[in-house]
Amino acid sequence: MYNIQSAYPWSMIQDAATGSGTSTGTMSVVSSPSLSGAARQFGITFQYSAGERYWSVFGADPSATNFTYDARVYIASPSSDIANLEFDMNQVMANGQTVIFAVQCDGYSGTWDYTSNAGTPQNPIDQWLHSAAPCNPQNWATNTWHHLQMSYSRDSYGNVTYKTVTLDGVQQRIDETVPSAFALGWSQVLLTNFQIDGIGAYGSATVYIDQLAISRW
């Protein structure tokens, strides 16, 4: 699927798991800055490190087991109010369980993180794990396009292998396999999330995504 940022409807909500404050999100499709002519602008205004999650349903495919995520990302200056940038994909398998493929650039730990289920699908414990690959969104150059690519796969039980993250042509290997199946009761769906987490007592940030493509087989 190509140009997911503009070809499908998006929604947004505050992520209750972030911070102790509140956030308000904005979205629009813009022609500038853009590479395709239709980038999606994501805005957040927050208090006390709250985060805003944006998502889009772009199909359904319970049988695919391999995925690549490919997007262009532009952080408007300043980036000092951004704690984390999260890029996710969710897939409902044939057994009805949802596999969460989640990766974030973590400004607190300075690493690429990946999610896992430390519990069971029926009684999940969603947790972030730090990889050895460095990343901090405040170190990304602002007002310019960055090329982000990720690859991961799953088995029939929903165990996810996070393979690589490549930013601007520099590939870093994750090579970790973790359980990531959740019994959420969703219908068959493929869904992508993008999230901005704030840092500090209050602030705001604007990020653009363009040429968002997710391949599967």
The pLDDT profile of the chain, 217 residues, written as one tens digit per residue, is 899 999 999 999 999 989 889 999 999 999 999 999 999 999 999 999 999 999 999 999 999 999 999 999 999 999 999 999 999 999 999 999 999 999 999 999 999 999 999 999 999 999 999 999 999 999 999 999 999 999 999 999 999 999 999 999 999 999 999 999 999 999 999 999 999 999 999 999 999 999 999 999 9
Task: Provide the domain limits for residue 190.
Answer: 4-216
CATH number at 119 reads 2.60.120.260
Count of domains observed in the chain: 1
Cβ-defined contacts of 22-27 (< 8 Å, 24+)? 22/46, 22/47, 22/48, 22/50, 23/47, 23/50, 23/51, 23/52, 23/198, 24/52, 25/52, 25/54, 27/54
Q: Whole-model pTM?
A: 0.96
